Structure 1
Amino acid sequence: MTIDVSAERVIPLPPERVAEYAMDWRHDAEWNQGIRVAELTREADAGGFGVGAEVTRTAYFLGRRIDYVMRVAAYEPPRLLDMISVAGPMPMHVTYAFERDPRGTLARIRVRGGEGGFYRLAAPLLARQVRSSLGKDLRDLEHRLSRQ
């Protein structure tokens, strides 16, 4: 994998509250940059959302529409949500991690992936854009939760 970008932010709320919202695919389009639609397209083997579940997302990046499917590889609320792409324009691995911090919750997002096709040509821009988007995602997550 050639792209490995992460961002973190302390959110002044308990990890359970932050993770409950951030790990719920129904909120993806509310706080994730570029995601316009997220839909649970395969339930976990035990039903609902969990390991094995798949979420199909529609996003826009660099002016292009991207449709991709993320499969849940690890789900340990309120600590960890780890997903890998099983369909889309490039391989991708996304990890959300939440841990208790004296000031609330240390929230981290990490995106790893390889550039396929068009994205291989735009690798430096891609990494910069993803880093910027992750920072905005965490800021938007904090603002949304603070208003609830």
Structure 2
Amino acid sequence: MGIDVTVDRAIPLPWERVAAYAMDWRHDAEWTQGIRTAQLTRQADAGGFGVGAEVTRTAHFLGKRIDYVLRVAEYEPPRLLDMVSVAGPMPMHVTYSFDPLPDGGTLARIRVRGDASGFYRLAGPMMGRKVRSSLVKDLRDLERQVSRRAGG
């Protein structure tokens, strides 16, 4: 079963600030649903975080613990972070994109694509709805966290 879910949100905060926070793996557990831990387990070829870097996440989804590794495929701050899973329960592709709005805010977008298998295939149609619901909450929490850090 294929999943392809995109959610966006207008956030009334400067796009560079929103993108910098969201693209920093050290904040993943603060705003991404179900993530308990995130750890940089492989640096980019040029060092640090960037194309080729890998982040290992531990999450809980549909009552199950999931450990998965995302490798950075594209990294163009502050506009784009594109990651593909290289280890985990199902093939997954996660894209964060950020664009400035005319009012000074941010259009934040998350797209998740994947092929559910095993237990997740059995979850069937509810999988896409659950992913969409989680992404809506992610963007809401992203706005809250960045606003809190900005002092307003």
5+ residue gaps in structure 1?
none
The letter for the 1-side match of 2:94 is V
Shift, 1:61, TM fit: 0.3
Counterpart position of 1:34? 34
The letter for the 1-side match of 2:144 is H
The letter for the 1-side match of 2:9 is R
1:77-120: per-residue Cα shift (whole Å, max 9, x none)? 00000000000000000000000112300000000000011111
The letter for the 2-side match of 1:42 is R
Counterpart position of 2:60? 60
SS of residue matched to 1:38: strand
SS of residue matched to 1:123: coil
5+ residue gaps in structure 2?
none
Shift, 1:4, TM fit: 0.2
Counterpart position of 1:46? 46
Counterpart position of 1:121? 122
Aligned-residue sequence identity (percent) comes to 77
Whole-angstrom CA distance in 2 between matches of 1:89 and 1:142: 29
Counterpart position of 2:101? 101
Whole-angstrom CA distance in 1 between matches of 2:44 and 2:114: 24
Normalised to the residue count of structure 2, the TM-score between the two structures is 0.95
Normalised to the residue count of structure 1, the TM-score between the two structures is 0.98
1:22-46: per-residue Cα shift (whole Å, max 9, x none)? 0000000000000000000000000
Shift, 1:147, TM fit: 1.2
SS of residue matched to 2:48: coil
Between the two proteins, the alignment pairs up a number of residues equal to: 148
SS of residue matched to 2:13: coil
Runs of 4+ off more than 6 Å: none
1:45-88: per-residue Cα shift (whole Å, max 9, x none)? 00000000000000000110000000000000000000000000
Alignment RMSD (CA, Å): 0.8
Shift, 1:19, TM fit: 0.5
SS of residue matched to 2:90: coil
Shift, 1:123, TM fit: 2.5
Structure 2 matches for 1:16-27, cutoff 5 A?
A: 16-27=16-27
